[in-house]
């Protein structure tokens, strides 16, 4: 079903009429189902911000054994493991475990790179990598701390949710919102990025003078249709719950994907980045990267985001009298970048698909030497930019700390990253005179 934040309703076609008529919680639901509400906002939020869905399920989610602590692996919310590092950081592609050595599913293949804030106070973010080679079997994940924005980079993932199924491929993204249970099937070596946001939900950015159309259009977002399984699991079905930065597990004897019908506006959803309608300069100078924002999670300060998800898609470059690649920059925001495919225009070498970079608050960054020299002398004519490429950025107002896994354990940190600027030389000419034209 299409649309962003719409009021949807869906029934598994095997059970027509499963949605109650005219009310949410009848004394007896059709087919003997249980009614259960999933709230994504406070009950008293203004109507435009109120998020909730009603699920009609074979058994309610409350029927489970007690949660017990589970190993967290490399998933963490400890931002003080190592000393702060203000340097420009770049990672080579994160390695994917081989199945002959160890089978790793989505839940056990989560690794936290950096983040800030606190899930308890509902204010913060986490940036994770997932690397896996096996599907989750009789197991699902539930994030009580916040929303997961998932960016596949290698390998498609089939996500089963309480709302239905979504197949998400590289160059697509999906959002699993807080509290939604999901399981991930993979089909080989699989890798991707995750932006986790505590205390806010992603929304479409305001368009202002752009008007009513452009960037990520609401009609291009998709959410799944109802699908259920009535499956008894005698050996036990495991629910993994991320709660206050830790993992917990409980057992139940049935599949949690037993929702026969549902309605509401709080759903998982996916989006194909190819559908992004690019807005760009058509005269001169370089617009800020905010024109490439797909989704934003707003803070309480107007215009300042907890996190923005920004992409750099294929587009035309036509700006005259202009250095067209990204300019040199020091930012009051943190910039974490990843590459899904291709070659990023400002650093065609070194920044690789499946790798990443982090330019922390006020850490200078910009084009490497080759990019600067080439584009300072280039003939300015209309040209395709980033053809066959898709880079993205998680930009945040938080000053993010890097984990021990990100700095040491992963062993993919590129310690020579700084050298891409070492050969920048001075072009200053004190005898220069302006043209008389």
Q: Is 427 annotated as a binding residue?
A: no
Q: How crowded is residue 273: how many other Cβ atoms within 10 Å of its Cβ?
A: 18
Structure tokens that stand for 295 in this block: 């989704």
Q: Is 348 annotated as a binding residue?
A: no
Q: How crowded is residue 257: how many other Cβ atoms within 10 Å of its Cβ?
A: 23
- Whether 286 is catalytic: yes
Exposure pattern of 275-308 as b/e (b: 16+ CB <10 Å)? ebebeebeeeeeeebeebbbbbbbbeeeeebbbb
Q: Is 128 annotated as a binding residue?
A: no
| Set 286, 343, 359, 427: catalytic member | 286
- CA 49 to the chain's CA centroid: 21
Integer Cα distance of 139 and 63 in angstroms? 15
Query: Which residues lie closer than 8 Å to 23 by C-beta, 6 or more apart?
Result: none
Integer Cα distance of 58 and 228 in angstroms? 9
Query: Which residues lie closer than 8 Å to 395 by C-beta, 6 or more apart?
Result: 289, 305, 307, 308, 310, 333, 334, 335, 336
Q: How many degrees, rounded to 5, is the angle at CA 43 between CA 41 and CA 44? A: 105
Integer Cα distance of 113 and 16 in angstroms? 46
**Which has the closest alpha carbon to 317: 240, 243, 378?**
378
Strand partners, 338: 356, 392
Q: Is 365 annotated as a binding residue?
A: yes
Integer Cα distance of 125 and 359 in angstroms? 16
Q: Are 255 and 237 in contact (CB under 8 A)?
A: yes
Residue numbers belonging to the annotated binding site for Fe cation: 329, 335, 365
Residue numbers belonging to the annotated binding site for homogentisate: 344, 365
Residue numbers belonging to the annotated binding site: 329, 335, 344, 365
Active site residues per annotation: 286
């Amino acid at each position: 079903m299409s649309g962003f934040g719409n009021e949807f309703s869906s029934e598994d076609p095997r059970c027509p009429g499963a949605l109650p008529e005219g009310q949410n919680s009848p004394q007896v639901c059709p087919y003997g189902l249980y009614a259960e509400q999933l709230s994504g906002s406070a009950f008293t939020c203004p109507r435009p911000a109120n998020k909730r869905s009603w699920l009609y399920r074979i058994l309610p989610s409350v029927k489970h054994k007690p949660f017990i602590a589970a190993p967290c692996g490399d998933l963490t919310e400890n931002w003080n493991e190592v000393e702060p590092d203000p340097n420009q950081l770049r990672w080579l592609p994160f390695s994917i475990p081989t199945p002959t050595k160890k089978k790793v599913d989505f839940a056990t293949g989560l690794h936290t790179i950096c983040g800030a804030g606190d899930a308890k106070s509902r204010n913060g973010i986490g940036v994770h990598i997932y690397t896996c080679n096996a599907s989750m079997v009789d197991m699902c994940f539930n994030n009580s701390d916040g929303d997961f924005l998932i960016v596949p980079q290698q390998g498609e993932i089939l996500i089963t949710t309480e709302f239905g199924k979504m197949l998400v491929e590289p160059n697509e993204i999906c959002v699993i919102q807080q509290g939604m249970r999901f399981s991930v099937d993979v089909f080989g070596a699989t890798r991707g990025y995750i932006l986790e946001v505590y205390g806010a939900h992603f929304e479409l950015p305001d368009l202002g003078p752009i008007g009513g159309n452009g960037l990520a259009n609401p009609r291009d977002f998709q959410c799944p249709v109802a699908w259920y399984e009535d499956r008894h699991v005698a050996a036990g079905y495991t629910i993994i719950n991320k709660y206050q930065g830790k993992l917990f597990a409980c057992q139940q004897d049935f599949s949690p994907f037993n929702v026969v019908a549902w309605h509401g506006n709080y759903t998982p959803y996916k989006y194909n980045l190819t559908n992004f309608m690019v807005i760009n300069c058509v005269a001169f100078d370089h617009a800020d990267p905010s024109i490439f924002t797909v989704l934003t999670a707003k803070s309480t300060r107007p215009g300042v985001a907890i996190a923005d998800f920004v992409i750099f898609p294929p587009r035309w470059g036509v700006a005259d009298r202009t250095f067209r690649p990204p300019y040199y920059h020091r930012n009051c925001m943190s910039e974490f970048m990843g590459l899904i495919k291709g070659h990023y225009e400002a650093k065609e070498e070194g920044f690789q698909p499946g790798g990443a970079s982090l330019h922390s608050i006020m850490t200078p960054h910009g084009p490497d030497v080759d990019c600067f020299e080439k584009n300072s002398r280039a003939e300015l004519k209309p040209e395709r930019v980033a053809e066959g490429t898709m880079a993205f950025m998680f930009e945040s107002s938080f000053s993010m700390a890097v984990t021990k896994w990100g700095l040491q354990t992963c062993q993919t940190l590129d310690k020579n990253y700084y050298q891409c600027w070492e050969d920048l030389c001075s072009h200053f000419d004190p005898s220069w005179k302006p043209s008389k034209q």
